[in-house]
């Protein structure tokens, strides 16, 4: 299979995944990450428990358990608002210099596994006062992939998630730490590097739900006969597009295969999907999220026109087959070597989640 990356822009895809987890919570994950790993190579506080590995399936953590020094967060009390912002009370000082997590509520829902995509709520809290400075508990939870990217950049958060159940609420503390500030080009070569202190922060994470791994809904029996068949592997649930026969439709064709029961996707939404793409001319697969089994999340404002138009208006939980003419894909230039000039494309897409984007399209 080609390593061609689509439908996201070439500079996006999986390296981008951690940054937009939450417009407010990304800072939380990234701050704790910097504290744990340190981009400047200097020694940074890091809990030993987060780096330990085991072949056994992780067990659910009980209330009070965590990584680092969980007893340091004994005084943290979290109360969800009834549709509004949560409140946090902190009894005493948080006394630890390690990145630390502590389970506040042990969820009894389905256990999180590696590769899952979660719906999560996050609150960013002032650890001195307990003031909630940013949160999305009062809004819509966002999709968070539990993948190698998260594991490498933030082992504490990754370990906090895997094995615990939906409904789990965890406090995560990122202590104050210093980072080196790069010198400007005009600085003297002999000048000493400066440092910047990042303040301590407290975060509260809730696992709201685990997204399904494939489309779930009612099968659509009425089909456009111009389009190829789609078969599904019974064991993996992976859909595959048969080799196309005949000429490709000149217009964009959106063929629902399964109709979900979720909300309609908006034109500017951020979606989480599983997909497979083939070229119409030979039916060759040029990209597929099913190869890794990891769903991907991106804004419809970052993809080819055929995706944006084709997915808008469809319901979450649906599986759709998109036949995209070249002018709504990669046009005259194509995307060598996988996609030739003026090549129409086919995609089968499972829509697992959709959420309103923080930055709507200028159009």
The model's confidence at residue 149, banded by pLDDT at 50, 70 and 90, is confident
pLDDT attached to residue 4? 40
pLDDT attached to residue 357? 75
What rounded mean pLDDT belongs to the chain?
84
Q: Is residue 363 part of a domain?
A: no
Determine how many CB atoms are found less than 10 A away from the CB of residue 61: 22
Answer for the pair 335, 6: CB distance below 8 angstroms, yes or no: yes
| Overall pTM surpassing 0.95 (yes/no) | no
Q: Is residue 6 part of a domain?
A: no
Q: Do 264 and 205 belong together in one domain?
A: no
Domain endpoint, select from 210, 238, 255? 210
Label residue 295 exposed, middle or buried (CB < 10 Å: 0-12, 13-18, 19+). Answer: buried
Q: Do 45 and 129 belong together in one domain?
A: yes
Active-site pick, 147, 208, 269, 287: 287
Q: Do 235 and 125 belong together in one domain?
A: no
Q: How far is Cα 34 from Cα 153, in angstroms, rounded to an integer? A: 8
Q: Do 142 and 188 belong together in one domain?
A: yes
Q: Is residue 236 part of a domain?
A: yes
Active-site pick, 137, 173, 177, 330: 330
Active site residue 298: no
Provide the number of structural domains found in the chain: 2
Active-site pick, 207, 304, 324, 351: 304
Q: Do 173 and 228 belong together in one domain?
A: no
pLDDT at residue 293 is higher than 50: yes
Q: Do 198 and 346 belong together in one domain?
A: no
Distances (CA, A) of 105 to 64, 108, 159, 181: 9, 9, 16, 38
Q: How far is Cα 172 from Cα 25, in angstroms, rounded to an integer? A: 12
Q: Is residue 175 part of a domain?
A: yes
Give me the percent of the chain exceeding a pLDDT of 70.
Answer: 80
Q: Is residue 4 part of a domain?
A: no
CATH number at residue 39: 3.10.50.40
Query: Which contiguous run of DSSP H or E holds residue 181?
Result: strand 177-181
Active-site pick, 177, 210, 347, 351: 347
Q: Do 223 and 305 belong together in one domain?
A: yes
Domain, as residue range, for 110 = 13-210
Q: Give SS3 for 123.
A: strand
Q: Do 127 and 236 belong together in one domain?
A: no
Q: How far is Cα 228 from Cα 328, in angstroms, rounded to an integer? A: 19
Q: Is residue 69 part of a domain?
A: yes
pLDDT attached to residue 185? 67
Active site residue 205: no
Q: Do 204 and 242 belong together in one domain?
A: no
pLDDT at residue 359 is higher than 50: no
Residue of 296, 277, 272 lying closest to 287 (CA atoms): 277
Q: How far is Cα 4 from Cα 10, in angstroms, rounded to an integer? A: 9
HSE (side-chain half, CA atoms, 13 Å) at 295:
27
Q: How far is Cα 133 from Cα 342, in angstroms, rounded to an integer? A: 50
Q: Which range (35-39, 93-97, 180-184, 256-260) has the least confidence?
A: 35-39
Question: Is the model more confident about 256 or about 26?
Answer: 256
Six token digits for residue 319: 């599986």
pLDDT attached to residue 282? 95
DSSP alpha helix (H) spans, 133-185:
148-153, 155-161
Domain endpoint, select from 210, 237, 257? 210
Question: Angle 332-335-337 (CA atoms, 0-180°, nearest 5)?
Answer: 120
Q: How far is Cα 121 from Cα 21, in angstroms, rounded to an integer? A: 10
Active site residue 304: yes
Domain endpoint, select from 210, 239, 262? 210
Q: Is residue 2 part of a domain?
A: no
Determine how many CB atoms are found less than 10 A away from the CB of residue 5: 16
Q: Is residue 1 part of a domain?
A: no
pLDDT single digits (tens) 151-179: 888 888 898 899 999 999 999 999 998 87
Active-site pick, 177, 275, 324, 339: 275
Six token digits for residue 12: 């996006």
Distances (CA, A) of 37 to 45, 102, 157, 197: 8, 20, 13, 15
Q: Do 52 and 188 belong together in one domain?
A: yes
Mean pLDDT of 353-360: 75
pLDDT single digits (tens) 3-35: 444 444 322 333 222 223 344 444 455 444 444
Q: Do 138 and 157 belong together in one domain?
A: yes
Active-site pick, 177, 205, 286, 298: 286
The model's confidence at residue 288, banded by pLDDT at 50, 70 and 90, is very high
CA Rg value for the chain:
23
pLDDT attached to residue 205? 95
Q: Do 223 and 94 belong together in one domain?
A: no
Mean pLDDT of 195-222: 94
């Amino acid at each position: 299979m080609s390593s061609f990356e689509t439908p996201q822009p070439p500079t996006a895809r999986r390296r981008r995944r951690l940054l937009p987890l939450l417009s407010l919570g990304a800072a939380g994950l990234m701050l704790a990450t910097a504290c744990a790993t340190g981009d400047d190579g200097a020694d940074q506080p890091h809990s030993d428990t987060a780096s330990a590995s085991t072949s056994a399936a992780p067990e659910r953590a009980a209330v009070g358990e965590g990584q680092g020094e969980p007893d340091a967060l004994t005084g943290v009390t979290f109360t969800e608002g009834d549709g509004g912002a949560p409140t946090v009370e902190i009894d005493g000082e948080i006394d630890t210099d390690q990145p630390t997590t502590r389970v506040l509520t042990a969820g009894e829902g389905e256990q999180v596994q590696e590769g899952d995509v979660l719906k999560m709520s996050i609150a960013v809290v002032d650890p001195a006062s307990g003031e909630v400075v940013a949160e999305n508990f009062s809004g819509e939870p966002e999709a968070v992939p539990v993948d190698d990217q998260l594991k490498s950049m933030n082992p504490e958060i990754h370990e906090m998630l895997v094995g615990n159940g939906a409904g789990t609420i965890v406090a995560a503390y990122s202590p104050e730490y210093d980072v080196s500030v790069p010198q400007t080009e005009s600085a003297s070569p002999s000048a000493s590097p400066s440092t910047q202190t990042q303040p301590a922060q407290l975060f509260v994470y809730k696992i709201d739900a685990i997204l399904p791994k494939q489309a779930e809904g009612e099968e659509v029996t009425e089909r456009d006969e111009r389009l190829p068949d789609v078969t599904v592997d019974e064991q993996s649930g992976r859909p595959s597009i048969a080799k196309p026969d005949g000429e490709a439709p000149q217009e964009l064709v959106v063929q629902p295969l399964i109709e979900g029961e979720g909300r309609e996707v908006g034109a500017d939404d951020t979606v989480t999907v599983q997909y497979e793409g083939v070229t119409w001319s030979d039916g060759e697969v040029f990209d597929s999220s099913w190869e890794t089994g990891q769903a991907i999340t991106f804004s419809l404002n970052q993809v080819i026109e055929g995706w944006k138009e084709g997915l808008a208006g469809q319901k979450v939980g649906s599986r759709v087959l998109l036949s995209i003419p070249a002018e709504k894909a990669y046009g005259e230039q194509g995307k060598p070597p996988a996609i030739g000039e003026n090549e129409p494309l086919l995609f089968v897409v499972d829509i697992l989640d959709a959420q309103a984007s923080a930055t709507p399209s200028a159009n």
